[in-house]
Structures are given as structure tokens and as C-alpha cells.
A and B are shown apart, each in its own frame.
Chain A
Amino acid sequence: MSVFAPLNGRAKLLLALFVVGLAAAPIAADRYLLSVLILIFYFAYLGQAWNIMMGFAGQLSLGHSLYVGLGAYVAAALWTKFGIGPWAGMFAGMAVAMAFGAAIGWLGFRFGIAGVYFALLTIAFAEFTRIAFDHMDWTGRAGGLFLPVRAEQAHQWWNLRGGPLLFYYLALALMLGALWLCATLRAARIGHYWLAVREDEAAARALGIDVFAVKMKAVLISSAMAAVGGTFYAFYYNNLFPAQIFDMSRSIEMILAPIVGGLGTLIGPILGAFILTPLGEGLIAATEEAGLSAPGTKAVFYGLALMAIVWVAPSGVWPWLRRKLGLETP
């Protein structure tokens, strides 16, 4: 647990209880709650992937839906066209996403495209990939790619065919695996390099850090992680549409959890997902209960809640909560 050194004993205990609680949750949770928890884990996982780019290395990407979409499409297409299972397809998806990530990184970092201009570059890549997939026969063009749902494959975990429990534990494993990976990376030399680059790139370069290589590692790891999330998405929903999976709104959804939870922190993306997804679901139920049936009512309250959260905890909820609960190391 040395990778979790920034957390004190009480925080580690809470984290352990949290993990045990989630592992045991299906015993008591109903189907609806499980489906919400799956979404929470999914967004927490993707939040961690994006957090490596922005939270650790300080590179603003607003096109992460590109990597999710590529991971989803590559794995799904290999499965539907050649019968190649999702576990192998996942690695192919990671490779393709990393290739795109490398191209974006090389263009951005080699030519000094930084800040919002780098963000625009990531959006542009996601957008032209969406348009390309809209015209690709092999993946169903804009009409979508549908994964067959066969009764005889209902319980084949190795093909990611199964019920909510399979996807629950898979999503939980993804979230916890991402937490461990991010903690490991941040505690390693590369993590310190990322933080140095994030805080002052010129100073980091002056200290002899290979800034280009460090940033490239961030984009490669982040894109690979996002692609794994895409594979999960494809086999959970069993249909893909370029307009939906590559859409910029998906990128925005992805970055909300780490921003609200605490950018650059380990627990922030998880906490953010645990706040935002239930908030959305709760508001649907609450507005329904209150008889507020006008379309978009929930979105108004959701926006207000987001504003309130940012107002109370401008650096993210986790740093604020950590102080309040005394979970920091002295």
C-alpha cells in the first residue's frame, strides 16, 4: 500500500471498507442500484484515465471520447466480423487508440501546441474520426454496429456475455485497477515528472526532464486506459453509433467526475463519479416525485447542484473532504 502513502491510516481503513462494501453490494443491491453502480464505476474509471492526462501531466484533452470510441469499435468489430473475443479485441483497441494518441501527442508536443490549442487538436481528432466512422462500411457507417445477443452465449464471461453481475464486478475491477495503476504511476518517477511538467514545464526542462517523452507517456497510457473503457461499453450496450460514442458530450461527461472530485488526486475521479451519477439519477426521481415533468427540469437542477459543489469546493470535493475528515498525512 506504499503507493497510497498520501493517505493516512484512517483514510486507508475507509478505503478498505469502501472496497469491501462494494464487493459485497450485490448481496443487498437491487437491479436498478447495480445498474447505477456500474455507471459510477465506468465513469470513475474513465475519469482516472483522463486524470492522468490533465490532472497529473497538465495536458487538457477534450477529445477522450476518441479513445473510448476506438476501443469500443475495434473490439466490437473484431468480435462481430471475425469472432475474435473481447479480451483479445481489447488489446487491439488499446493499440489503435495508442496509435491515435501518439499521433495527437506527437503533433501537439513536438510543435508546441499547448493549453486550449492542444484541447482543440484533441477535439478535431475526435470529430474527424467520428466523420470517418460515419462513412466506414466495415463498422456499419452512421447506421451503427450491433453486437449479436444470443441466448446460447448468455453466460460466457470470456466473451463478455452475461448479466449485470458480470458487468458489475468487471466495472468494479476496472475502477479499482485504475486506482491502483494511477497510484503506482504517481508514486513512481514518471509521476513526479508529470507533476513537474504540470507545474512548470520550462523549469522541468531546465532540470533535465525529457518533457516530450514524459507527456507522450501520459497520452499513451491515458488513451490505452480509455480504450479498455470503450471495450467495456461496447459489450455492455451491444450497439455503437459514431454520433454517440465519439460525440464531444461524451468527452465532457468523462471529465466531470475528476473535475468535481478533485483534479490530480487519486480519489477525486472516484468520488466525483459517486457524486455526479447518483445526483443525476436522484434528480430524475426527485423531479418525478415533485411532479416537475417539463423536459430539462432535471438538467436545470443538475446544473445548479454542480455550481453549488464548485462554489463550496473549488479545488474539488476530495481535497475539501480530506481536510474536513482529517484524512491527510501530517
Chain B
Amino acid sequence: MTLKTSVSRRAVLAGAAAGSAALAAPAIVSAQAGTLRIGVLLPRSGLLAQAGQSCHRGALAAPRVLAELGYRVELVHVDTESNADIARTQAERLINDGAHVLTGAFDSGHTLAIAQVCEQRQVPFVVNIAAAPPITEQGLKFLVRNFQTGPQLVTNGLRLINNLIAATKIDPKRAVFLHANDTFGQAQRNAMDAIFPRTNMPFQLVESIAYDPRAQDLSVEVTRLRSLRPDLVLVVTRASDAIKLVRDMVRQRFEPMGIVSPGSPGMYDEEFYQALGPLADFHVSNLPWVNPKSAMTQALERSFAATNPGNRFAADGFNAGFTFEALLIAADAFKRAGTTSGVPLMEAIRATNLTEHVMIGGPIRFDEKGQNPNIGSACVQNRGRMPVVVLPEDSATMAPVLPMPGWQGRT
């Protein structure tokens, strides 16, 4: 639900020689007394629309839960259109409009564009999702990130593969790493190259294969995969290429023990389930996830069902969960700081210590760089076209199943 006060704007004549073009230059509007005004910048259209809309659904579900917890927030939603230019100008506009905190922005480039604005204007920025390590390596004082960096995702993802092997008693000897050659995929590849040799995994990583996520199909990559005979296929994908990958595996009758993502989206997206049906089952994603046993998660799920009746919380849990937590962090800091002023509000955000939250992991805290080091990861396996937590045991609602059943005869 979007709560928004009406904002008056002054029209600005731009270009005397050219005639006039109205610019929406907003007046600063104060939020209701005692309410925190949060600008939510997400890529709800354009290239990143699928993920951005998923995050947005979490933001829509948030106010009700936050109100139940005693927080008063007002959200202003802005679509960055998957464009860094718009992300930057809209960050400026939101602050002009009286936003006390900004959250977003899913994409690392957009996040850094917004972060520069927030730094200059001394407005706190709580990053919901963005994995590039440099975001918290720049010494930015008005930014915190409640999301794992690429290397953290891979480290936790690989650790959980060991747990998965132990829990299912499989004995893989060979693995291949297949990744989309985009910003995120490349960051994961770099992390994999650096971290895998140090992890003493019980299998050999025989090759890493990069593919263009814009390719029409992945038949060439799957042919190469088959020739390498891996027991495990480790993937970093997006939904559309994960679909292509499984389809080409089925076409070529290639059946590894399992397809496991050491920290990427794709295989738990609604699009993946809809496109593949029973073929979407049994794939594993190792990544941060909502804790199904947390009371706050359950409250968020109820609110999500009410605000997004056409969508399943299970498939949106990752994006919605992190977006909700970003808002929770801001709201909690405001409650403690008792002011919307940027500097004390940021101090309160940096002093965050939230033991009750929705994502699996320890208390939400931030180190000196503004990074939350306590975010956990879970093994999430697709079961019955649903992402289900199968590890760690204290959060699991099902036991993991590997090797995965063959493609044929699935229902």
C-alpha cells in the first residue's frame, strides 16, 4: 500500500530559446509528524523489471507489518526504469520531496548512483539488494547494506553444498560451474575462482563456463557440459536463462545428480516454475532466504497475501524479504533516534541491533563499513513448484532430496 501526501510542484521554464518544458521540481513536503518518509527506488520496468517488481511487492506488504510492530512509515515508490540516470535524478527528487531515508536499488550501478546523492545530501541509504563488494568499500558514511556481497554469497553457498552432500549422502566427484556472463554472474565467477580452491570440497571443479544470458538457447553449453560428465552442475543464472538451461538439458537427456546454485536468482522465480512445471523441481539454490519459522516472516507473508493476491510469497521471498528488512532497519532506527534528521538517523541506523527479523541469520548489525556480516544462507530446494528451505535444519520445513529424479516421468 502506498501512502502519499499530495505534493505541489512548481513548473520551471527550461530553455528560453527553446520554449518552455515543465520540470517537476517538487516542493519540500514534511511527512506527518512522527512518521518516517522512505523513498523506495526499484527497477520496476526495463531490463530488471522482474526482480524490481518482486522487491516492490515486498515493499507494498511492509507498512501493515511495520504498523503492527509499532513503526510509522510512509513509503514513496519510484520506478528507476533499470536506468542509472533515472535512479540518480529520482533520488534527488525524493530527497527534495522530503524523503528522510532512501532504500533500493537492486542493481549495483544504480545503488552507487543513488549512494553518491545520499552522501552529498546526508540522507541515509539502506541498500536492500546489491552484491558488488565496492559498494561498502568506498567509505560512504550514509550507506548501509543488508545484503551479502558476491564473495559472501559464494562462500556460504559452497559451505551449504558440503552440508547438502552430508545430508543426502551423495558422492559427487566432478562439478562444472556455469554462469551468466553479466555483472552479477561475473562477480560470482571471480568469487568462485578465489574461494573454491580454499574450501576443500569433496569434488573437483573441472571447468567454468560463461555464457551470454541473451543467447537464444544454451544447447552449445549443455553439449559441452555433457562431454565433461559432471555429477553436479553449479550455476549462476537469471530466470530466463535458467529455463533455457533446463530445457536444453532435458532435450539432450543430460541428468546430473543435481543442479545447485551457490548464490543466485533464477531457479526460485515464479517464471521458472510456470515455464518448466515439474521440470522445475529438485533444483537447489543456496542463498539468503526468509526464515519460514520466524513470526515476523509469517506476518509478512499474511500481509503479502493481502496486498499481492496474484503472487506467491514463496517465490518472492528473497526479494520481498530483503526489501522489507531494509524498511524495518530504517523504521527501527527512526524509532530509536526520535528524529528524521540525517546525521542522527544515520547514527541510529549504524547502531542497529535487530534480533527479530525475517531473513535467516543472526541479528541485523552493521560493521564499520556499513555491511551486515550476520546474514545467513539456506539451501532452498524446489519441491512441488515451490521453494522450500531444506537446510539448515533449524529453519528447514523439508529434508533435501538428491540425486534428483530423472527428467522423464515427473508429475
Contacts and interface: CB of A to CB of B under 8 A. Distances in A.
A32 B26 contact: yes
B33 interface: no
B226 interface: no
Given A149-B116, A244-B84, A279-B21, A36 B77 contact: no
Contacts of B2: 293
Contact of A33 (B25, B53, B85): B25
Interface string A107-122: 0000000000000000
B362 interface: no
Residue among A29, A141, A163 with the most chain B CB within 10 A?
Answer: A141
B181 interface: yes
5 contacts: A32-B92, A271-B15, A278-B14, A281-B23, A281-B24
B116 A295 contact: no
A278 B23 contact: yes
A32 B25 contact: yes
Contacts of B92: 31-32, 34-35
Interface residues of B, number: 60
Interface in A137-190: 140-144, 146, 148-151, 163-164
Interface string A27-66: 0011111111101100000000000000000000000000
B250 interface: no
B89 A144 contact: no
Nearest to B140: A149
A284 B78 contact: yes
A290 to B, nearest CB: 11
A306 to B, nearest CB: 14
A303 interface: no
Nearest to B112: A239
A282 B116 CA distance: 23
Contacts of A30: 25, 96
A296 B81 CA distance: 8
Given A33-B25, A148-B138, A239 B93 contact: no
B368 to A, nearest CB: 15
B19 interface: yes
Given A14-B17, A293-B77, 12 more contacts: A31-B120, A32-B26, A32-B89, A33-B25, A36-B23, A135-B181, A144-B108, A144-B132, A144-B183, A239-B134, A282-B22, A284-B93
A129 B16 CA distance: 40
Name the residue in A36, A275, A289 with the highest tally of chain B Cβ atoms < 10 Å from its Cβ. A36
Contacts of B283: none
A3 interface: no
A149 B139 contact: yes
B283 to A, nearest CB: 24
A315 interface: no
Contacts of A204: none
A312 interface: no
A229 to B, nearest CB: 13
Contacts of B24: 281-282, 284-286
B275 interface: no
A14 B186 contact: no
A284 B85 CA distance: 13
A11 interface: yes
A311 interface: no
Contacts of B295: none
B7 interface: yes
Contacts of B212: 131
Interface string B57-93: 0000000000000000000011101001110111011
Contact of B89 (A15, A36, A131, A270): A36
The main secondary structure of chain A at its interface with chain B is helix
Contacts of B116: 149, 237-238
A146 B12 CA distance: 35
A239 B108 contact: yes
B9 A285 contact: yes
A30 B10 CA distance: 12
Nearest to A34: B92
Contacts of B86: 280, 284
A267 interface: yes
A299 interface: yes
A151 B120 CA distance: 11
Contact of B113 (A11, A32, A143, A237): A237
B208 interface: no
A210 interface: no
Contact of B134 (A146, A279, A280, A299): A146
Nearest to A286: B24
Contact of B85 (A17, A39, A296): A39
B16 A237 contact: no
Contacts of B342: none
Contact of A163 (B16, B84, B90, B120): B120
B77 A237 contact: no
A298 B21 contact: no
Nearest to B89: A35
Contacts of A164: 120
B22 A21 contact: no
B18 interface: yes
Interface-central residue, B77, B89, B92, B96, by most chain A CB under 10 Å: B89
Nearest to A36: B89
A321 interface: yes
Contacts of A279: 21
B181 A134 contact: yes
B23 A142 contact: no
A192 B26 CA distance: 46
B397 interface: no
Contact of A282 (B4, B21, B210): B21
A226 B104 CA distance: 31
A246 interface: no
B295 to A, nearest CB: 30
A285 to B, nearest CB: 3
A141 B191 CA distance: 13
A285 B26 contact: yes
Contacts of A143: 132, 183, 186-187, 190
Contacts of A36: 23, 89
A244 B90 CA distance: 19
B3 to A, nearest CB: 12
Interface in A255-294: 267, 270-271, 274-275, 278-282, 284-286, 288-289, 293
